[in-house]
Amino acid sequence: MIHIIGTAHEQTQYWSDAIKSGEAIDTTREIVCQFEKYLQGAVGLLAATAIAEELNQQCVEQREGGMSVCKKVADDIGLHHLFCDPDHNERQKLNIMTADEREDFWFTRVAALAPNETSVIFVCGAAHCRTFREKLEQRGLQARIHCDDWTSRLS
């Protein structure tokens, strides 16, 4: 089963030097810490064996001191981690232009984790939760939305 967790990328999905020092304009250290703890709890609750995400290494590396929160949690717990979003070069090479085409790409990446036989957490932008779940289900993968927008809890 794929358990989808929606969020706002800029607020929760990565660490950077600016966030750690309190100089970021889009989020705070406390928000990222809260999301990290939430994700750790979700791993236990859902008995997850892997964490996949709508992010790529190139995006993380563009931030000074960048680190994926999902990768950090997976590494800390000893789970498999998978970046699913195509980087700039992959998008150009594969002519990926739309959100729907990006979701098709994510599907191919996450399907390799055999999610019908195990429990996989997939973190993505909140706007993708429903459409990605539908795409997964239409193609034979079991999926549910665990949290449609974690960042809505901050209001």
Dist. CA 88–CA 96, nearest whole Å: 9
Higher pLDDT pick, 155 / 74: 74
pTM of the model: 0.95
CA separation, residue 117 to residues 48, 111, 123, 139, 142 (Å):
11, 11, 19, 15, 9
Domain span including residue 122: 2-154
Q: Of 113, 12, 85, whose CA–CA distance to 121 is shortest? A: 113
Residue 127 CB partners (closer than 8 Å, separation 6+): 6, 99
Number of domains in the chain: 1
Q: Which pLDDT band holds residue 141 (cuts at 50, 70, 90)?
A: very high
Residue 63 CB burial class (10 angstroms; 0-12, 13-18, ≥19): middle
Q: Give pLDDT tens digits for 59-100.
A: 999 888 889 999 999 999 999 999 999 999 999 999 999 999
The pLDDT assigned to 153 comes to 84
Q: What is the CATH number of the domain that holds 102?
A: 3.40.50
Task: Give me the phi and psi of 60, to 5 degrees please.
Answer: -65, -45
pLDDT of residue 154: 81
